[in-house]
Amino acid sequence: MPHRPLRLSEGEWQDRRHRHRERVSRFADPYLDRRSRGEKHPVEDFLFTYYSQKPGQLLRWHPGAGVLLEGGAAAERADWKYYIPDDDGVRVDARRFAEERREAIDFARVILARTTARPARFGCFGLHEWAMAYRSTVNGARHEYLQLRLGAAGTDDVVEGSRLRCTHFDAFRFYAPEAEPLNEHTPTRQTQRDLEQPGCLHANMDLYKWAYKLTPLLSSDLVMDCFELSWRIRTMDMRASPYDLEAWGYSPIAIETTAGKSEYVQLQRGFSEESQALRERLLRDLEFALATP
């Protein structure tokens, strides 16, 4: 049976829109300010530079499918992509989105569902960033403006003395060429749906990607919940990296030590649990949206 749309008065949805913009601005404004001055930040720029969603797109609030926005101010959305006038308001055109974005929907569903069903693995210790900086005297480092905490030789020693177990293609593809054969897996875009697992920091950061790629079918509240989790994961990811971020205010997680490995896994387990809950929510909300006319 089709869902009856939730009706939001103009005052209600404008208030939600305002609160969303405030929520986004805490992250976007400092980035835009740095960008205007040609400055970089190794942690806080990542979600705006690695992913295709830009700050202006993130600032735009969407209620998600199954919500009717009332009032005169909603009329402008009738010209927005995947919106449609309905009764005395405007809503997301879920049917059109499902027809035109079927490939994106199907891929996201497969990735989310299969990752949710797999057991989490906690033996990688964030070595993907180290593998990207391997043999930096030959290849350079991925973040060339940062110093390696253990130096080039020390970084190489950690890589050579460790087991590389990365399962995430979008991390593996940035490996230094000499590090690729040291990895236990050879992830590809084609095998992504078979290798993604909920212990992987990058797979969990990508929840933000799947959420915004399904905008406006999914709500901005859900997108931002994924964004904020990804922001915290990125912080941990870089603290465990080979780079010295003390000057930026980040103490290292020294994964080359037993204590550092233990700290890493403890945080990794927590993020895995949070991500699994969000993954299930993404799937539920997607199914609800697809059942909405």
Give the pLDDT confidence of 130-165 residue by residue, as tens digits. 999 999 999 988 888 999 999 999 999 999 999 999
pLDDT exceeds 60 at position 229: yes
Q: Say if residues 73 and 14 touch (Cβ distance below 8 Å).
A: yes
**Listed range (84-88, 113-117, 207-211, 256-260) with the worst mean pLDDT:** 84-88
Residue 4 confidence (pLDDT): 66
* 61-89 mean pLDDT: 94
**Is the confidence at residue 191, as pLDDT, over 60?**
yes
pLDDT(18) > 50 = yes
Is 184 a domain residue? yes
* Residues 116 and 198 sit within 8 Å (Cβ to Cβ): yes
Average pLDDT, the chain: 95
Provide DSSP, 53-77.
Answer: --HHHHHS----TTEEEESGGGGGG
Asked whether residue 1 is domain-assigned, the answer is no
Domain count, the chain: 1
Give the pLDDT of residue 268. 98
Whether the per-residue pLDDT at 102 is higher than 90: the answer is yes
pLDDT at residue 290 tops 80: yes
Domain membership of residue 180 as a residue range: 6-290
- What's the CA gap between 255 and 238, in Å, rounded? 11
- Residue at 133 is within a domain: yes
Kindly tell me if the per-residue pLDDT of 21 is higher than 60.
Answer: yes
The reported pLDDT for the residue numbered 142 is: 81
Give this prediction's pTM.
Answer: 0.95
Which H or E run contains 120? none
Tokens 């905490």 identify what position? 149
Please determine, for residue 214, whether its predicted confidence score (pLDDT) is greater than 50.
yes
The answer to whether residue 1 scores a pLDDT higher than 70 is no
Q: Taking residues 273-288, what's their average pLDDT?
A: 97
Mean pLDDT of 228-249: 97
Q: Is residue 180 part of a domain?
A: yes
67 backbone dihedrals φ, ψ, rounded to 5°: -125, 125
56 in a structural domain? yes
**pLDDT tens across 196-205, in order?**
999 999 999 9
Residue in 230, 257, 255 with CA at minimum distance from that of residue 43: 230
DSSP 90: E
pLDDT given at position 3? 59
